[in-house]
Each structure stands twice: as C-alpha cells, then as structure tokens.
Structure 1
Amino acid sequence: MEGAGIAVVGASLGGLRAAEQLRAAGWRDTITMFGDEPHLPYNRPPLSKELLAGEVPADATQLRRRSSVEDVEWRLGAAVASADLAACTLTLADGSAYEYEGLVAATGVRPRRLPLSGGPPRHVVRTLEDSAALAARLAAGPRVLVIGSGFIGCEVAATARTAGCAVTVVAPENEPMVLSIGEDLARALRRRHEARGVRFLMGRLATELTPHGAVLDDGTEVRADVLVEAVGSLPNTEWLAATAGIDLADGILCDAHLRIGGLPHAVAVGDVARFPNPRYGPLPRRVEHWSVPGDTARHAARTLLAGLTGIPRDPAPCAPLPSFWSDQFTMRLQSFGLPALADRTRLLEGDPDSADGDLLYGYYQGERLIGVAALGGPAAAAAASRHRAELLALPVPAAEADFRCA
C-alpha cells in the first residue's frame, strides 16, 4: 500500500485552495490530490457564461497556473471509491489502496437529474465537457428549454438568448432565483430577462419529456430542440458511505472547525461541507457559493495541522461571510451574506419598476442586517460591496460549545 502525508480527495477549486493553505500554514510533507476528472483545477463560473458563449478558450479557466502550489502530487482521473477514516486509507476505483496521515474531503457536488426519461438532447453544466457539448448545440440557434431557474438555469438562459436562441424557462418556484435573493429582487430579475426575450413558465413542473420538448403539469406542451437540466445539485459523498458514524444526509456534517465526525485528522471544505456558521446560528448548512472553498480551506488547513502536528488550533469557529456573483446578459447580480434567511427585505437603492436601473436590497432578521444583494451594472455591485464591511463587523458568537455538531 502506497501513501503518506495528506490526501486531498477532490481536485477542483476546494481541493486546490486546501493545498495552498496547507502549504501556507507550514505543511512541508507530501500532499496528494485525487480528482475524478482528467483536468487540472479550473474555474467553473465561466462554464455557463463566457465559455458557453465561446468568448474564452477552455484553458483560460485553468486555476493552477495562478496557484502558488507547485509541489503536490496530482492523481487526475483517479476516482476514490471508498475511505476508511479509522484506518486512514483510501480505495481507488481501480482497486488500489492509499494510506494517509490527514484527509481533506473536497469532492464538491454534481448536477441533479430529472426523474424522467426521453426528451430532446439533454444537457447539464458542471464540467468542461458539459459546457463544450452544450455550446456546440447552441451554435445552431435551437429552441432551448431550461428546466430550473437557479444560478445555472438563469445564466444558461441569458447566454442562449444572447446567442440568438429561443429560450423557455420552466420552474416550480414563483420567481427565478427566489430561494437565493427573495421575491422582490427575483421579480425584477425575471422582468429584465423577459424584456430580452426569455419566456418564463413559473409555478410549473415537467411531467413528461417527448422527443420534441416537454409536457407540463397543467398540460402545456413546450416545444424544444435542446433541454438543459438545471434542477440543483447533489453532494458527492458516496465514497464515505461505508464510514460508520458520519452524517451524510446533506453533504458531510462537520463541526465548527470543519472536522469530520470530530476526527482530528479529517476535514471537509467547499460546497460538500455542512457546518454551523455562528454568524447565522447553530444549524449546520451547506452553501454552494464560489467564495466558500477558499474561506473553508483557510480554516480547515489550520484545523488539520493542529490535529496532525499539535500546533495551536484557531479557537474561533469557522465563520465565513458567504458571497456570490452571477453575470446574466449585461447585468451582474452581487450578494453578500445569506439573504435566504431573511424575514424582511427592504429596497435600499433604485427603482424596482425600471427595466435597466441599478437595484440594491437589504435583508434582515428583525432589525439585524444579514445580507445585501444588488442587480445592475458596476455601480450596483459597488453599492453591495460597501455593505460588506458592515456585515463583517457584526459580532460573531465565539462559544465553541454551541457549535460542536457532534
């Protein structure tokens, strides 16, 4: 059995940031990166925007060229089938075994698929290959049906419409992206998409797929040449399923220091990690924002090295401020905090009835500001950024006992 040092399972953004932070924290021994895909780490946001539109080449998304980590061992195209966290061993899909001292779980998520068969050519957007395959379809200007109105659904809809495609979006919610940005801003986002030619059928489910489109739950038939499934994601946790005592109900349950099952030699990072963020109370959550891999990697690296080497551990729990952006047409949606937890929304700037003006909303629990989101041009994004310092300055509970999640 080969192996030594730290194994990072997942060679995308979360795994790369973990390796960088382990080196920055002083780990000089072996780091081995295991990745399902054959590619070095790359940036996923362009997959549904610039790369899908053909505005940048695939190699422009590569992250490692801008990384300070050059002395790690890459095992690309080497899927991990299972792990024994007690024995500190991994079993790869080819049957080989690897022994480690410390483990970073950074396996991310995969697209959820519709529980329906048939249909026109079907696509998801998660990998370079996914984006390239869909881009080839869009080049012919087909009728595009997007099922799902979250980040990927709205971004693909905007990119396809800009490419000249007829685009219909179907989703069960009453407004696009409503779960992330609330009803008021979501309504404004939909109006701006509609003004650019995107058709929305909200509050509807696809019940049947046909070679020429889909049938909805109200009997509506939507004709389409291409179907994009954008119905959410599933955390990649199957490789840990044989480990007793690990909660995998929604990602990998961690404590407030990102330890898996309280183990000193195993941590999780990125959107596969479900952990309590004391900024928002003791309930563990997964957050699938681009900022989360970097934020969790910094804390997890220090936690892991404390468990392996005995160096002092950061006494404060991991408490990142989530943030995301989404480019759709010429608009940017920028958010800081967790608007989804708000019980009250307030318009801070702009006219919600304007077709193109900038908008800024504040999101509150009682009188406490817990998030901001802006829609529009650079000035709107800058307005949201001005509130970032205010959100970061809010007091964070530091009582570790309240956030153990054991």
Structure 2
Amino acid sequence: MKEVPESKVEAPITANANENPYEIVKSLLKNSVEALGLTEDVYRLLEKPIRVLEVSIPVRMDDGTIKNFTGYRSHHSDILGPAKGGIRFHPEVNIDEVKALSMWMSLKSAILGLPFGGGKGGVIVDPRELSQCELENLSRGYIRAITPIIGPEKDIPAPDVNTNPQIMGWMLDEYDRLRGYNVPGFITGKPIIVGGSQGRVEATGRGVVISIAEAAKKLNIPLESATAAIQGFGNVGSMTAKFLHELGVKIIAITDVKGGIYNENGIDIPSLRQHVAETKSVVDFPGAESFDSDKLFGLPVDFLVPAALENQITEKTAPQIQAKVVAEAANGPTTPEGDRILNEKGIFVIPDILCNSGGVTVSYFEWVQNNMGYYWKEEEVNTKLEEKMIYAFEDVHKMHEEKQVNMREAAYIVGVGRIAEAFQARGWINDWSMPFKCKA
C-alpha cells in the first residue's frame, strides 16, 4: 500500500445509516429559525445549498489504465461572501455529507464574523491506494472539473480529511495554469512558500483549546489540575493534545484507528508525537499502557475531545460519558439522540461549529494576506485567532444564557440570526422583527 505524502490518512467516517448529516443540520436550522421568531421564508432560504456540482474525474493510473473518480462541490450560501470550505478525500464521501458540511461552514463563518459563505468538497477515494503521482493527478483533475464555480471571489477551497498543504499546492498550481497567472487567494492551507499563512496547520487544534479554556473559566475548572481524553490523533487531535499539555492539562487517554493508550499520571505528549511520526499510531507508545478504545468515553475526565469520527456520541455511548465538558473538535461527532442524553446529564458541550472553527478563521487570515500581498508573523496570526475565538465563544455563551438553551442551540441561533440579517439587508426577506444586530 502506497503512502500519502506529508499527511496522516484519517480513520473511515462510519456514519449511522439512521443519522443523515444533511437531515440533522436541516432540523437544527429549522429549530433556530423558530427560536428567533423568523418566518418560514428564512428556513426555505437555508434548507438547501444554492448549488451542488457532481463531477467525473478521469485519472491515468501508474499501470496505464484510466480510473474514473466522482467528486462533489457544494455551495450552501454566499450571502455573506464567497463560499469557503475544505476538500476531503475519503472512500465514504457522499453528496448529503458534502451538503451538510457546506451548511456547517456557513454557520461557522457567521458565528466568527467572517465575510464568507459555506462551501465544501470531496472526492470518493481511498488515498492510501494511490501513488504520489496518482494523487497529484487526481488533485489537479478535481480542480479542472470544478473550476467554473471556484475562485477567490466565488469559492475558496482548503484542506480537510486526508488532504494537506502539498495537495493544496498542486491544486493552486493547476488553477494558476488554467488562468495563466498567479492567484494565491484562490485556495488556503497551502505551503507557506507559495502564500500560505503561518499558524494554519495548528489553527484548528489551537482554536479547540481556546474554546476549552473559555469553557473552563465559565465552569470554574482549573486547567492546571484538569484531565482530558482525546479520540483521534490526526492533525486536529494531536495539536489539541499539544496545546492542552502546554496549559498543564493532564491527558490520560488517547485513541486512534489502531487502538488506544492510557496513563493515569498523564501522557508525555511531545514524546508521543515523536512516536506517532515514526510509527503512524499511538499504539505501543512506551510511556503508556494499552487501552480499549471503547472505554474512552467512560473515563471520569474534565474534558472529552472527540477529534476523529462523525456520529460517535450516540444513544449507546452518551450514557457512558462522565466528562464535565465535551469539546467537539470533529465535525458532527454527536447524534441528536446522543445530544439529548448529554443535555439530560448536564454535560457542557462546545459544539463543532464553534469549537473547531479555528481552521476557517486562519484560512480567512491567509486569504486576507494573499489579497494584501503582505504576510503576518505567526504570533500576530495566533493573537488574532484568539481574539476571534474568544469573541465568538462569548457571543454563543451569552445567547445560551439569554435564551436558556444549550450551547449547540445557542450557536445555531447566533449563526442563523446573522445570516438572516444579511437576507434582510439585501432585500431577500421582509416584515420581520430583527432579534439582534450583528456585532461582528
């Protein structure tokens, strides 16, 4: 099996057949529209992406044969600005998943006050089965196929599951070849040498930890004596572990697709990251004992961080959870039934559309830097990210208290409210009472 360059291949996204992410997000949007007292028109404008493109991508394989791959790109909304969202390479990519992810991106941008709409893309492929040459040809072919609907003023892609800066570099080069000139703002998450931003690789994990730190303040949890368990040790999980460790949080358990590790006294995260770089898994780390991944959710920790799969906190796993805080570093890790159980248990949830929005925020910074042709130092990027994340957390928490709803409902209300305000400003809807003004 051939290795994907400079990237960890994420675990399969095993979705429960009864938990369609597109139907879940539509239900949450409808509830938010009703909570704000908006008209049915607002929901009708939000319930479907404005466009979804399905493309065929023929790739000549190393053995000379041609294989055809299917790709998608969804634009949920461009009311606040160009669509923004990642591209994932995964064998279980499907059109409903891509549509749902684009809708989540609309909400993330609105919550963070970014001038973006929501977009998402994906290709049905297991990148572990491709050589580097085949992977490059697929990446370039995808961009050629979707080029009519992308660009720095229309839709700005970025990395997602199983894609990385190298793949973004290939995609940037293909787009520039088609245009005949350099367009660095077309894509984000690219290598720094061709216009990428300092701090982008760490951004999602850093944002997760900023959200956790804010939640800890609200709940009076001292970080220096807190404990955590993390599901997933790809880019987001490993960066979350790194930054939590630096704050003094004791991480006692970590799992990945191959297994888990446990140390009640805390795992040495710098040593573990080196071990994973060499072995591609947390398994057999000498500083911890083997651990059954199924037991992770039942650990009595302060912070539980699902950073891997969708639909992991369900009616079966949610009753086991003893954590004070669930920080959703992954997209859609909690099913509606799992969410109901967490609410009944009084567990504080930092929802994915807030918790993992650090990546899109620094992608915004990258796009701004590309447009200016002037680039910031990493310290400045990190400072601006922290300001944005704290501001967004405070807005959502304030809504949580004012409306007496959980944090997920509060996040959706904030996001939907801001998008609806834009609908009104552009004249798309009329005759409704503005629930609050956008302060972003």
TM-score range, shorter chain: under 0.3
Q: Which one has the bigger helix percentage?
A: 2
For normalisation by structure 1, the TM-score amounts to 0.28
Q: Which one has the bigger strand percentage?
A: 1
For normalisation by structure 2, the TM-score amounts to 0.26
Structure number with higher relative contact order (C-alpha < 8 Å, ≥ 6 residues apart)? 2
